[in-house]
Amino acid sequence: MSDPHEHRTPVALKGLSADDPHLQPAAPNPQLVEKVIAICFVLGALCVAGFGACYWINAQAWKLGATMGFGLFFLGVGLVAWGKYLMPQGPFVEERHTLANSVADRDAFAAAIVERGGGVVQRRKLLGGLLGGGLGIFGVVAMFPLLRSLGPLPKTTLQHTDWAKGSYVVDQSGRRVQVGDFAIGSIATVFPEGTQDSDRGQAVDQTVLIRVSNEAFTTMKGRESWAPKGYVAYSKVCTHLGCPVGLYEQELQLLVCPCHQSMFNVRNGAIPQFGPAPRPLPQLPLYIDSSGFLRSQSDFHEAVGPGFWEHQ
Amino acid sequence: MTSTVLKRCFALSLLSLFCAGPAIALVGSAQASTKTTPYQTTRANSGTPNSTHVTKNSSGVIISYGNSSITYRAPSAALATLGQALYQENCASCHGTEANGVPASGVSGAFPDLVGLGPATITFWINSGRMPAANPRSVEAVRRIPRLDNGQALAIAAWIDTLAPGYPLVPYPHLKNANVSDGAALFALNCASCHTIEGDGDALAYGTSSPSLRHVPAIQVAEAIRTGPGNMPRFTGNLSDAQVNDVVKFVTTAIQHPQNIGGFGLGGLGPVAEGFVGLALGVGVLALVGFWVGERD
Amino acid sequence: MTDVINTQRSKREALGPYGRVGKTLGELDDRLGVAKGGRTFMDKIFPDHWSFMLGEIALYSFVILLVTGVFLTLYFTPSQSYITYHGSYLPLDGQKVSQAFASTVNLSFAVRGGLLMRQMHHWACDIFVGAIVVHMARVFFTGAFRKPRELNWTIGTTLLILAILNGFLGYSLPDDLVSGTGIRIAYSIILSIPVVGSYLGFLVFGGNFPGTAIIPRFFILHCLIVPAIIVGLVGAHLFLLVRQKHTQFPGEGRTEKNVVGSPMFPVFMAKTTGFLFVVGGITALLGAFAQVNPIWQFGPYEASRISYAVQPDWYMGFLDGALRIWPSWSFHNWGHTIPFEVLIPAVILPGLIFNLAFVWPMLERKFTNDHEIHHLLDRPSNRPKRTAAGVAVLTFVIMLFVASSTDVLAKFFDVSLNTMLVAMRVLVIISPFIAYPITYKICRELQGFVGGGKRKTPNVVTRTAEGQYVATPSPVYVDDVHRGLPATPVPTFITEEPEDAGENGVRVVDR
């Protein structure tokens, strides 16, 4: 990249005699340094050739990397040493000229813009305004289709999950959960039947199902029927940033978010008792049907996952 | 298939020959305190005797069950007498002479009731070196070199089982029949949230921690999944024996012998370790080289 | 001149004193007029201080990023559609994975040199961002951002933001378990923006998380749009460097009106090209021996899967740390929610930090009332307030970074995770206030210490016959003798000894 204003930098036409100290190598013993550099270059060349050989025979990654790495390293060290120890040691100096131009130059530049441009615009204010307005409208309008085509509008999709009245609770393999299936202290990730393999099911509907012993469980007011036979279900989507809250500590009765360590009290409606999460994990109301299958009474009563503006 | 059945019949006949007498006596004495089922699952092939191959001894006690994925076996009842002696020596000071968690007078505090927990729980805690505990007052027991060997652990389990039979029995996974890929997916869904995806374990809430899985033998992995030791939850109904076997295979192969084709594995700490290496060995070394390339004043 | 043709000598003479090179340059000059500018460029002086190499680390690791990145694009499939993996890594065989993930695993296992390129790309990125930060610290603490270089400081800060952004985008592309969690968090952060958050999230992701559009979109951003902006800004950064000439530390013969150092050709060129090779070599060695981001061990991303102890790459760590330690303050009323627990640490806080960096030159001009042009650098100790303020802000960001590994620290120090987190809350807040006065005090102490940082020569102590000890300073180091020379302009020509030694005279090589 050359200096575009080089004409303002006068070039010094000056000679130095060959024995000038500025032109001597910095190394006190250049012969030795030359040998060392030669060894570096030979090693580098050998390694780089080795890299070619390794590539040819399809050797393991570390052999490729080692040969290439050492090759480049030795070539580089040799080249730096050449420049540092054997080339003219200097120091050399260059003048630094002020970048600013004379006041007259500046005025001429400003005048060119202000007087020519200003004159034109002032005489044709209407045209200028119309052009500006037109371009402005285009600028705003151009944003609309661009932004609008990128994705659908959220509508109410963030507020609901696929859990509905009577959804069968199934595990990750799609098996319906029956009342006797879980021993006390068990945990599983469950989904409303049919969504366990879909992206939305995985991301939105995922729910942790825990079977707590009756004596360890306190039901919150209004949720007395939500956890039949000790089966309690909470949304697995953390209310902080949406990580799956899959970390259950059985003796502490805590659900912990593996990302930022929010701790939710399983006994007490998953109220956060430590960490950055602001809201409890929504609880899924469950019931056991006449055949002994676990099913949901309804959807979650609030939006699952992290907070957003429209979160009720 | 037939060969395993034959083997089991052989084992059964041997067992009934050698230990029928003491077993009947001991089991009979324990009928009164049998625990109820919430500790077990009713789903088939999920750790409790609801499975395809249930073997009972002559007195009707289940001594093994399972399938082509995992065989659950009771420790030989003949060991119970030895087990009782070992128990009184090593465990009774905390768990009480009756194994009901009530220690002898003078020792205060709550200790777990072991009656009816099933042999897999007992052998896991002993074989992983967590019991006898190094410090009974600590937040949680940690893995260390076992103080008792596997035979002694089985003996203690056999004696406790005589107080009240419990499940699961000791699982013996058949890793040849496992699918490591399914295990990897199940591990990521169920296990990695505590043990990390590399199986290294880490600090959890309130001073608890998830242990590293790097050196846990297959049987103990299966025991832990089925019994949920300490703060770890149980995995019962949602994992069939075949799926547990898959997870055990994944842990004992990919986790314990990771394919680090890219060089040193950096201790499985992930981006934290990578960040330190990148900054110290990358930027640091290059800055040092730059220090050499440039001048000092 | 005789009419001898077709002899070696006449050919040489026809080409002029500088042979083929001279002839070619002449032809070039006829058409482009490059001689004068080219000569000036060859003579351009670069100061030699070692700290000026830090920016070069960033530049050259970016070169490596471009080269390795081009290789990777040839084998990566930016698609989130699912396939069943059947490849050489057995623990994944038969799993449902996205094409992005499968192609990254195949690239690592099956493509010759693929894993090395991937690992070099990742390490080069870690080094790139790290070197930018270190370079930026050098520029800040030495006052190199002052007038007339404010614009270059702004470009540099923008480059840091773009480097972090592109690092995150690239880290997300393989669609593995760990990076997928990062994308999930990014989605939630977008969601937290008041009023427009959910709309913005849907537009960026093409619908609700996870959608199928994000990997292809990240791909085009990561491989084309952001790199193109970075290349443009790096070009502008270097153009301004050349136009305004490099700063230098004050010293013998160095003034505001000159630049002392090595000429572009050949000394600087040799050193800097060698350094490029060294950066490439170190990156390749890291790629060879230090495994980075083994995505095959993490497995594919599914929104319900998670690993404990996942952290983003180190340059995102300060955000993760801030999110961990920020209290759960959420605003909820009138049917609307403002998730301050996310908005403040993840949006407002980084905004404040980077904006502080942007406006710092202006603030300093305003408060010191210094509107002069500066080409000589400050010793950090001579500007104790600026240095202390910089150290305080750096300490704050570093403590946020440390807070992103509370779990690792809790394990290491064997304390409760909860205790560790509370401790980090306290440390993050108080450590800048501790760092400021300590730095200020150290700076003031160093000001009184003449010759600090200079290489000192030992005294030679001799014992005289009378038993008297005499200390005499030993001669200065050989290297330092050369440094003592007065600087001279780069010579246009060199007068040489004639080739035949007997003759007594000099031949002047001139144009």
CA distance C305 to chain B (A): 4
Residues C113 and A54 sit within 8 Å (Cβ to Cβ): no
CA distance C339 to chain B (A): 24
- Sheet containing C45-46: order of strands: C45-46, C258-263, A92-95, C488-489
B243 with A186: Cβ contact below 8 A: no
pLDDT of residue C489: 86
Instruction: Delimit the domains of chain C by residue range.
Output: 8-45, 55-250+268-305
Closest partner CB to C245 (pick from A17, A96, A147)? A96
Tokens 């959804």 found at: A167
CATH number where A211 lies:
2.102.10.10
| Whole-number Å distance between alpha carbons of C93 and C300 | 12
The HSE-up count of residue C469 (CA atoms within 13 Å, CB side) is 4
Distances (CA, A) of C362 to A236, A280, B81, C313: 48, 45, 85, 32
- Fold for the domain defined by C55-250+268-305: Cytochrome Bc1 Complex; Chain C (1.20.810)
Q: What is the per-residue pLDDT across A126-139, written as a single tens digit (0 to 9) for each?
A: 888 999 999 999 99
State the virtual CA torsion across A147, A149, A151, A156 in degrees, nearest 10: 90
Mean pLDDT of chain C: 89
| Whole-number Å distance between alpha carbons of B134 and B115 | 22
Q: Kindly report the number of other CB atoms within 10 A of residue A57's CB atom.
A: 8
For residue B182, list chain C residues with Cβ-Cβ distance below 8 A. Answer: 94
Structure tokens of C295? 């995505």
A70 with C482: Cβ contact below 8 A: no
- Among C501, C484, C317, C337, which Cα is nearest to C403's? C317
B238 with A181: Cβ contact below 8 A: yes
Which range has the worst mean pLDDT, C192-206, C285-299, C360-374, C485-499? C485-499
Quick one: A280 and A192 in the same domain?
A: yes
Q: How confident is the model at residue B20 (pLDDT cuts 50, 70, 90)?
A: very low
pLDDT of residue A239: 94
Q: Which amino acid is at C57?
A: I
| pLDDT over 80 at A190, yes or no | yes
Helices C417-447 + C406-413 axis angle, to 10 = 90
B264 with C289: Cβ contact below 8 A: yes
Q: How confident is the model at residue B22 (pLDDT cuts 50, 70, 90)?
A: very low
**What's the domain range around A111?**
107-150
| Whole-number Å distance between alpha carbons of C88 and C172 | 23
CA distance C46 to chain A (A): 9
Q: Kindly report the number of other CB atoms within 10 A of residue C482's CB atom.
A: 18
- Residue scoring higher pLDDT (B200 or C140): C140
CA distance A106 to chain C (A): 17
| pLDDT over 60 at C387, yes or no | yes
Q: State whether residue B162 sits within 8 Å of chain A by CB.
A: no
Closest partner CB to C130 (pick from B183, B195, B282)? B282
Residues β-bridged to residue C96:
C84
pLDDT of residue B270: 64
The 3-state DSSP class for residue C298 equals helix
Q: What is the per-residue pLDDT across B194-227, written as a single tens digit (0 to 9) for each?
A: 999 989 888 998 989 999 999 999 999 999 999 9
Cβ partners under 8 Å of residue A193, min gap 6: A167, A168, A169, A170, A174, A176
C311 with B272: Cβ contact below 8 A: yes
pLDDT of residue B283: 94
Which range has the worst mean pLDDT, A58-72, C55-69, C304-318? C304-318
| Element at B245 (helix H, strand E) | helix B241-250
Q: What is the per-residue pLDDT across C86-121, written as a single tens digit (0 to 9) for each?
A: 988 999 999 999 999 999 999 999 999 999 999 999
Q: Total domain count for chain A?
A: 3
Q: How confident is the model at residue B134 (pLDDT cuts 50, 70, 90)?
A: confident
Q: State whether residue B17 sits within 8 Å of chain A by CB.
A: no
Residue A209 lies in a domain: yes
pLDDT of residue C499: 43
Tokens 């035949």 found at: C500
Residue contacts between A and B (CB atoms, under 8 Å): 108
Q: What is the per-residue pLDDT across B222-271, written as a single tens digit (0 to 9) for each?
A: 999 999 998 999 998 889 999 999 999 999 999 999 988 888 877 655 67
Residue contacts between B and C (CB atoms, under 8 Å): 225
Helices C99-109 + C114-141 axis angle, to 10 = 100
Q: Choose from A229-243, B128-142, C13-27 the range with maximum mean pLDDT.
A: A229-243
Quick one: A213 and A269 in the same domain?
A: yes
CA distance C299 to chain A (A): 16
- Among C121, C213, C118, which Cα is nearest to C167's? C121
| pLDDT over 70 at C253, yes or no | yes
B234 with A80: Cβ contact below 8 A: no
| Element at C68 (helix H, strand E) | helix C54-73
Residue A281 lies in a domain: yes
For residue B236, list chain A residues with Cβ-Cβ distance below 8 A. Answer: 181-183, 186
Q: What is the per-residue pLDDT across B157-175, written as a single tens digit (0 to 9) for each?
A: 999 988 888 888 999 999 9
Provide the strand spans (E) within C77-190: 82-84, 96-98
For residue B238, list chain A residues with Cβ-Cβ distance below 8 A. Answer: 171-173, 175, 177, 181-182, 186, 188-190
Burial class (CB in 10 A: 0-12, 13-18, 19+), A142: exposed
Structure tokens of A187? 């945990």
Closest partner CB to A247 (pick from B46, B189, B204)? B204
Q: State whether residue A81 sits within 8 Å of chain B by CB.
A: no
pLDDT of residue B21: 39
pLDDT of residue C480: 57
Which range has the worst mean pLDDT, A190-204, C184-198, C446-460? C446-460
Cβ partners under 8 Å of residue C403, min gap 6: C321, C322, C324, C325, C421, C424, C427, C428
Quick one: A145 and A256 in the same domain?
A: no
Residues B279 and C129 sit within 8 Å (Cβ to Cβ): no
Residues C53 and B293 sit within 8 Å (Cβ to Cβ): yes
Quick one: A28 and A143 in the same domain?
A: no
pLDDT of residue B41: 79
C505: DSSP letter:
S
Q: What is the per-residue pLDDT across C27-61, written as a single tens digit (0 to 9) for each?
A: 999 999 998 889 889 989 999 999 999 999 999 99
Residues β-bridged to residue C461:
C471
**Which chains are within 8 Å of C by 3+ CB pairs?**
A, B
pLDDT of residue A13: 53
| Element at B184 (helix H, strand E) | helix B180-190
Q: Kindly report the number of other CB atoms within 10 A of residue C78's CB atom.
A: 19
Q: State whether residue B201 sits within 8 Å of chain A by CB.
A: no
- Residue scoring higher pLDDT (C154 or C332): C154
With b for 16 or more beta-carbon neighbours within 10 A and e for fewer, the C342-355 pattern comes to: bbbbbbebbeeeee
CA distance C115 to chain B (A): 7
Q: What is the per-residue pLDDT across B34-89, written as a single tens digit (0 to 9) for each?
A: 444 456 778 888 888 877 788 888 888 888 898 899 999 999 888 989 999 999 98
Quick one: A178 and A290 in the same domain?
A: yes
Quick one: A117 and A184 in the same domain?
A: no
Mean pLDDT of chain A: 88
Residues C391 and C380 sit within 8 Å (Cβ to Cβ): no
pLDDT of residue B113: 85
Provide the strand spans (E) within C99-256: none
| pLDDT over 90 at A276, yes or no | yes
What is the arithmetic mean of pLDDT over B265-288? 83
Q: State whether residue A63 sits within 8 Å of chain B by CB.
A: no
Residue A246 lies in a domain: yes
Quick one: A81 and A111 in the same domain?
A: no
pLDDT of residue B19: 42
Q: Please calculate the CA angle A159-A162-A165 and round it to the nearest 5 degrees.
A: 105
Residues C78 and C173 sit within 8 Å (Cβ to Cβ): yes
φ/ψ (deg, to 5) at B261: -75, -10
Q: Which amino acid is at A301?
A: H
Q: State whether residue B192 sits within 8 Å of chain C by CB.
A: yes
Quick one: A178 and A141 in the same domain?
A: no
CA distance A182 to chain B (A): 5
Locate the chain A residue with the closest alpha carbon to B41. Answer: A181
Final residue of a structural domain among A54, A86, A118:
A86
Residue A305 lies in a domain: no
pLDDT of residue C454: 63
| pLDDT over 90 at C273, yes or no | yes
| Whole-number Å distance between alpha carbons of C250 and C233 | 29
Quick one: A210 and A292 in the same domain?
A: yes
Closest partner CB to B237 (pick from A182, A246, A251)? A182
pLDDT of residue C274: 96
| Whole-number Å distance between alpha carbons of B222 and B237 | 14
For residue B271, list chain C residues with Cβ-Cβ distance below 8 A. Answer: 178, 293, 310-314, 317
Residues C121 and C222 sit within 8 Å (Cβ to Cβ): no
| pLDDT over 50 at A112, yes or no | yes
Closest partner CB to C408 (pick from B192, B269, B283)? B269
Structure tokens of C347? 């949006």
Most distant CA atoms of chain A, gap in Å? 106
Residue A94 lies in a domain: no
The 3-state DSSP class for residue C108 equals helix
pLDDT of residue C506: 40
Closest partner CB to C303 (pick from A3, A202, A247)? A202
- Residue scoring higher pLDDT (C105 or C467): C105
A93 with C116: Cβ contact below 8 A: no
Quick one: A173 and A277 in the same domain?
A: yes
Residue A157 lies in a domain: no
Residue A302 lies in a domain: no
B42 with A250: Cβ contact below 8 A: no
Residues A260 and C404 sit within 8 Å (Cβ to Cβ): no
